[in-house]
A and B are shown apart, each in its own frame.
Chain A
C-alpha cells in the first residue's frame, strides 16, 4: 500500500461561529470578525460567564432529513456534509453503487452525558428515555452514512481534540488502499455544559476572548461547529470529470506517552506526528507556506507547540484560527484543515486573532496581519488530551 499517494479533496463544507459555510468562515477570518459571547443555549452558576463561540443560526434548513431526532453534533456534521457534497457536485443518487465510507471525529457527540436525564435519574424521577434513544441513534459517522444510504466503512474517531485531523488522515488511507472510492471525512462537535464545566475545572478556560500565543494568554474558549472534506479516488475523479480543490499529501499521528491532559514539554509526540506527515508527503520544511497550528491559547499547549515549530519549521509563518471559532474539540482539526485549503486557495493568511504581545518564553509570534503567501502546501496540526498529536500536509497540487 502506497502511503505517499496524494488523495484528492473535491468538496468542503464548514460551519462555525465564524460562518455557516466555508466562504462565510473565510470572509470572517479575513475581516477579523469574532463572534464570541457568553453562552446563550445554556446557563451556568460561575460568577462570571466564560465566553464561547456558539452557532445561533438554524441548521440544514434546505433539507428534510430521514431522521431528525438526532444530536446537535450530528446536525452540525450533516450540515457540513450537505455543503461538502454540493461543493463536490455529488447528488445522493450519484453515490449509489460507490464504495463510500464515513470517518468523523467527535468528543461530545459520542458521550452519554445528558445532564437533564441524569438529574432526573438521581432524583428518582422517571426520565424520558427518548433522550437515550436519541443518543443511541446519534453516532456521528453512522448518522451521515444512514442519511445518504452509504454502506462502506464507518468510523467515529474519539481522539479528543485531534479527532478531526485523525479522521481525515484515516479517510485518506481508505482511498489509498482501495477500500473506498469516496470518503466523507471530518469532525463535528457541539457546545455543552458538561465540557464547558470540565474545561473550566481544569483552569484552562479564559474568561475573556482567547489569545492564542499571546504573552497574557489564559486559556481557551470553547466553540462548536463541523467541517467535512469529500475525499475521492483518482478513478472516481476521472469518471466524474471532477477537478480536485486540494490534496491530502500526508498524515502523521503519534502519542506523547506522558500525561493525560498536558502536552509533553519537549513536544516529542508532535514532532513525530509532523515528521510522519512530512515523510508521507515527500515534502520538506522549505515547501511549507504556513502552519495552521492547534493554538488553543492554553499556557502549556502554545509553549510546546511553538517550541516544536521553531525546532522543525523555523521561520515558517504560523497561526491559530481558534480566535475565530473557539476550540471546537473533535471538529477543530477538520475545521482547520478546511481553513488551510481556504487560505491556500486565496493565497492569504488571516491575522491570528487575539494576539497582541510576543511571549518571550515562546520567542516567536504568529501571523499578526492578513499576509500573502505564494507556496501551495501547508500543515495543519492538532494536540489532544490523552497525549495525542496529529498532523496533515495539505497542498493545492498533487506533486
Chain B
C-alpha cells in the first residue's frame, strides 16, 4: 500500500498536539472532567489553542465539534511543516461516529422552544455531518475531493480506505485525513440509561466483568501522502482490513504488535479476548483518550508516534492483564515489528489498520 504519514494533529482530554499526547503516554494518565456532564467523568477537549491558527472572529459561528476538527487539522499541518494545500491536489476526509451531536440537539431546542417557524438556520447548517469538513475546506481554501464518513466504530478504517484509494488512484497527491467526535449531555444521558450512572475515575479495558468505559471526545488528523518526503521517520500505512468476524478468518499479520481498541465496554472487550492469537503482544491506550467511536484514529496516531520514538509505549496500568496474550505494561523497543490497530464492533465488525516503518 505504501501511504506515508507526514503529519499528526491530535486533540482530546490529554491536551492538544503530539507533544501533549506523548506526555500523556509517558505518564499513562489523562485528567478527567466531571463538570457539566450528566453521566459522570468524561475526557473532554479544550480547543482554546485554535486561536493560534484562526482569528477568533472567524470561529464565532462554528461549534465545538468543528472547532475540534479544525484544530486537529491545523495541528497535523503544523506537524508536517505547513505545506501548501492550494489547488485540487489535496483531498479532505473526515470521519465521525455521531457527527455534531450537541448542535443537532441545539437545533431541536430551537424548534421545541420557539416553534417550527423559528428554527435556527445557523444551527441547522452546522448540524449536518459534513459541517466540519466544510469549515476546514473553507478555512484552508481547499479545492480537491472531500468526503465525510459515518460508520460508528468503523468510521476510521472505512474512511482511511478511501484516503488510500484516492492516493493510489492518483486522484490527489495528499489527503488531510481525520476523525472527530464530541461528547454532549444527551449522549451522557444515553450512557447512563444503558450502563447506569457511575463514579468510575479510571477505565479498565479488557476486565471482562466490569463496564468501565468513560466517554471521550476529540479529534485526530493526519496528512497522508504517497511521497515519504519529510515523513515522521517514514511511517507508512501498509494495510487496511475491513470485514466481519461472522464470515471470515481474520488475516492477522505475523510479528505485529496489536493496539487494541477495547474501551471498557464489556460486550465488545470480550471479542478481543476471544480473538487475539495466543502469545501475541498487545497494548491498549483507550484510558488516555476515552471511549468514542473514532478511537482507532488515536490508536493510529500513537502507532505512528511509536515508530517516531522507536518504542512501544506502556499501556496504562488499569488495562487488565490477559491470560493468553501479553499486555505491554512497560516501554519496550519496537524493533522491526509492524503495529496493527484493531477495532471490533459489537456486531462483529472488524477494522484493522497496520502501520510499519516506510522504506
Which residues of A are interface residues toward B (Cβ below 8 A)? 1, 3, 44-47, 107, 110-113, 115, 118-119, 121-122, 129, 132, 136, 139, 141-142, 145-146, 149-160, 166, 170, 173-174, 176-177, 179, 193-194, 197-203, 252-261, 268-269, 272, 276, 384-388
Residues of A within 8 A of B243 (CB): 151-152
A397–B353 alpha-carbon span in the complex (Å):
37
Partner of B149, one of A115, A157, A255: A157
Are the C-beta atoms of A155 and B134 separated by less than 8 Å?
no
Q: A111-B99, A121-B189 are in contact. Are A159 and B130 (CB under 8 A)?
A: yes
In the complex, identify which listed stretch (B108-116, B265-273, B279-287) lies at the interface while the others stay far away. Answer: B108-116
Are the C-beta atoms of A260 and B242 separated by less than 8 Å?
no
B128, B168, B349 interface centre (most CB from chain A within 10 Å): B128
Are the C-beta atoms of A276 and B171 separated by less than 8 Å?
yes
Per-position binary interface string of chain B over residues 113-134, scored 1 when its CB falls under 8 Å from any chain A CB and 0 otherwise:
0011111110011111111011
Are the C-beta atoms of B130 and A254 separated by less than 8 Å?
no
Per-position binary interface string of chain B over residues 233-261, scored 1 when its CB falls under 8 Å from any chain A CB and 0 otherwise:
00000000011101110000000000000
Residues of B within 8 A of A197 (CB): 111, 116, 119, 124
CB distance from A173 to the nearest CB of B (A): 5
User: Is B315's beta carbon under 8 Å from chain A?
Assistant: no
CB distance from B130 to the nearest CB of A (A): 4
Are the C-beta atoms of A257 and B137 separated by less than 8 Å?
yes
Residues of A within 8 A of B151 (CB): 139, 141-142, 154-156
A–B Cβ pairs within 8 angstroms, 21 of them:
A3-B171, A107-B128, A111-B127, A112-B186, A150-B247, A151-B247, A152-B242, A154-B154, A158-B96, A166-B147, A173-B162, A177-B165, A179-B161, A193-B111, A198-B107, A199-B124, A201-B120, A254-B143, A255-B92, A257-B141, A386-B148
How many B residues are at the interface, by size bracket?
Answer: 35 or more
Residues of A within 8 A of B347 (CB): 142, 146
Are the C-beta atoms of A112 and B88 separated by less than 8 Å?
no
Residues of B within 8 A of A201 (CB): 118-121, 124
Are the C-beta atoms of A113 and B137 separated by less than 8 Å?
no
Partner of A388, one of B98, B130, B161, B194: B130
Nearest B-chain residue to A272, judged by Cβ:
B88
Are the C-beta atoms of A174 and B165 separated by less than 8 Å?
yes
Partner of A159, one of B147, B165, B171: B147
Are the C-beta atoms of B130 and A129 separated by less than 8 Å?
no
Nearest A-chain residue to B166, judged by Cβ:
A173
A47–B118 alpha-carbon span in the complex (Å):
12
User: Is B82's beta carbon under 8 Å from chain A?
Assistant: no
Chain A interface, DSSP helix/strand/loop, else mixed = mixed
A290–B170 alpha-carbon span in the complex (Å):
28
User: Is B54's beta carbon under 8 Å from chain A?
Assistant: no
A257–B130 alpha-carbon span in the complex (Å):
13
A203–B161 alpha-carbon span in the complex (Å):
37
Are the C-beta atoms of B146 and A254 separated by less than 8 Å?
yes
Residues of B within 8 A of A177 (CB): 165, 168-169
A111–B150 alpha-carbon span in the complex (Å):
9
Q: A111-B129, A129-B194, A173-B165 are in contact. Are A155 and B158 (CB under 8 A)?
A: yes
Are the C-beta atoms of A268 and B146 separated by less than 8 Å?
no
User: Is B135's beta carbon under 8 Å from chain A?
Assistant: yes
Are the C-beta atoms of A257 and B142 separated by less than 8 Å?
yes
CB distance from B167 to the nearest CB of A (A): 10
Q: Which residues from 310 to 347 on chain B have a C-beta closer than 8 Å to any C-beta of chain A?
A: 347
CB distance from B51 to the nearest CB of A (A): 20
Are the C-beta atoms of B124 and A202 separated by less than 8 Å?
yes
Residues of A within 8 A of B137 (CB): 255-257, 386-387
Residues of B within 8 A of A146 (CB): 347
Residues of B within 8 A of A157 (CB): 147-149
